[in-house]
Amino acid sequence: MAQKTGALAKKIANLEAVFNPSSIAVIGASREPNKIGHVIVKNFIDGGFAGRIYPINPNADEILGLRAYKSVLDVKEKIDSAVIAIPAQFVAQVLEECGKKGIKGVVLITGGFSEVGKHEEEKAISEIANRYGMALIGPNCMGVITPASRVDSVFLPIYKLGRPRVGPISFISQSGAVGGCIVDLAARAGIGMCKFVSYGNAAVIDECDLLEYLGHDKDTQIIVVYLEGVKDGRRFLEVSRRITRKKPIVAIKAGRSAAGAEAAKSHTGSLAGSSEAYRAAFKQAGIIEAATLEQLFDFAKVFDQVLPSGKRVGIITNGGGMGVLAVDSLEDEGLELASISEETAKQLRASLPPYANVRNPLDIIGDADSHRYEVALNAFMKDSGIDVILLIILFQTAAIDSSVVNIAIRASDQRKKPIIAVCTGGEYTEMHKRILESYGVPTYSSPSSAMRAISRFIKYAEHYSKYNRLRKAEPIKTQK
């Protein structure tokens, strides 16, 4: 058992070579622009990877200006990691060469294994990787992105799939297609990512190994997971429970229907399992469950804010109807409409026009300018009876300009209370939404989507607070 635990620890530790290598081999590198091996090499070059890149192709001397090698064994220098994109029948041989070379991490893009019923072939590559202690991602995966170190083994061209900026969210996806969509959306919205990994069939490294690694990763503050199934339910529950005591996990379980579960089998060779069992496990582990991809995206980005101390929400708007919709959504989610203190009300009456009704939701009227937002926001920030601020900004009104974005960002940067924005509209509004998102202010297109995210945010804050209260009362031993 000790030997097994040691091998597992080594395998997880070797994931560092996958996410942050100083040198990488691309096995299957190609001179043809439409081949996956060409795209991967080009992405490393164009993305600004600072380490050494070794294209491996037995039939080429040079690829994209880099010297090519017939095998990793022909490279004299040390190689930390390898990306493999060759036909399935050749994978075992090159994986053996990677092991002999001392390569610690491998991303196996190639498909054609358990997802098409070739379980013995997948078992063979798993045995090779485990024998050498290699951390192998895949097979049948899309790759890995680490924006901070410019690692990019995803086989989709940069001009087709946007790459996100550096940020706090790490994303684990069993599906490459779903993962690619989330990465692209994050890049467009200006939301930062720490690490992205599409892990496919999980022949060696599975979701629990990735959770273990990211749970200890100091740069990862939020973990987002797309699952079709898990290999070890008990371990998944135990690992997740430990992680949510210090950082949130947002997850979506695909294959909830009978037909969806069957589709998952043919996609990644995954046993989907009961959706009710997963829901119960998520709740027990403190995982925030999303029902749709939109929710997955919405729930993850709210955690860029400081955790709330309660569920009392203060609403500021320059459109009365939007405030009413926000209150309806607040009640639907079981949250509490904060009461404005008399001191706050007095301050607001002195600063707002006489026709503004000082209450919550606070309608600062359609003629409000950025200064009026600043007054209202500062007052709500000081009010101890308000735990979360929902800031609704209608950019279509004549008096509002881009300066309101700076006001929201400055308030958010104080890290005193979470500030969540709602901006509904066309391209002009979308432009300002992207700016807010890029500075860590989660922004939504409707009050209902914002309140849904806020409710999950508060639920996790309660889970986090409960655990830390228990830990202070009686220290809990956690596995290292």
Strand-pair partners of 81: 24, 105
Calculate mean pLDDT across residues 116-137: 96
161-173: pLDDT as tens digits: 899 999 999 999 9
Token pair, residue 239, equals 């690992």
Percent of the chain scoring above 70 in pLDDT: 93
Whether the pLDDT of residue 263 is over 70: the answer is no
- Cα distances from 45 to residues 90, 136, 158, in angstroms, run 26, 23, 11
Are 30 and 64 contacting, i.e. CB atoms less than 8 angstroms apart?
A: no
In eight-state DSSP terms, residue 32 is: S
Cβ-proximal residues to 455 (8 Å cutoff; 6+ apart), any chain: 333, 334, 335
Whether the pLDDT of residue 366 is over 50: the answer is yes
Calculate mean pLDDT across residues 105-124: 95
Are 284 and 237 contacting, i.e. CB atoms less than 8 angstroms apart?
A: yes
206-257: pLDDT as tens digits: 999 999 999 999 999 999 999 998 989 999 999 999 999 999 999 999 875 4
- Cα distances from 236 to residues 183, 284, 337, in angstroms, run 24, 11, 37
DSSP states of 68-87 as a string? Answer: -BS-GGG--S---EEEE-S-
Calculate mean pLDDT across residues 40-49: 96
Q: What is the pLDDT of residue 16?
A: 97
Whether the pLDDT of residue 139 is over 90: the answer is yes
* Confidence band of 267 (pLDDT split at 50, 70, 90): very low
Calculate mean pLDDT across residues 375-391: 97
Whether the pLDDT of residue 474 is over 50: the answer is no
Domains of the chain (ranges; CATH) run 2-303 (3.40.50.720), 305-464 (3.40.50.261)
Token pair, residue 211, equals 């959770």
Q: What is the pLDDT of residue 264?
A: 44
* Confidence band of 475 (pLDDT split at 50, 70, 90): very low
Whether pTM > 0.75 for this model: the answer is: yes
In eight-state DSSP terms, residue 146 is: E
Are 221 and 169 contacting, i.e. CB atoms less than 8 angstroms apart?
A: yes
Q: What is the pLDDT of residue 196?
A: 96
Q: What is the mean pLDDT of the chain?
A: 91
Token pair, residue 363, equals 């309608």
Calculate mean pLDDT across residues 179-187: 88
CA separation for the pair 333, 330 (Å, rounded): 5
DSSP states of 53-122 as a string? Answer: EEEE-TT-SEETTEE-BS-GGG--S---EEEE-S-GGGHHHHHHHHHHHT--EEEE----SGGGT-HHHH
Of 3-7, 22-26, 260-264, 331-335, the range with the lowest mean pLDDT is: 260-264
Q: What is the pLDDT of residue 260?
A: 44
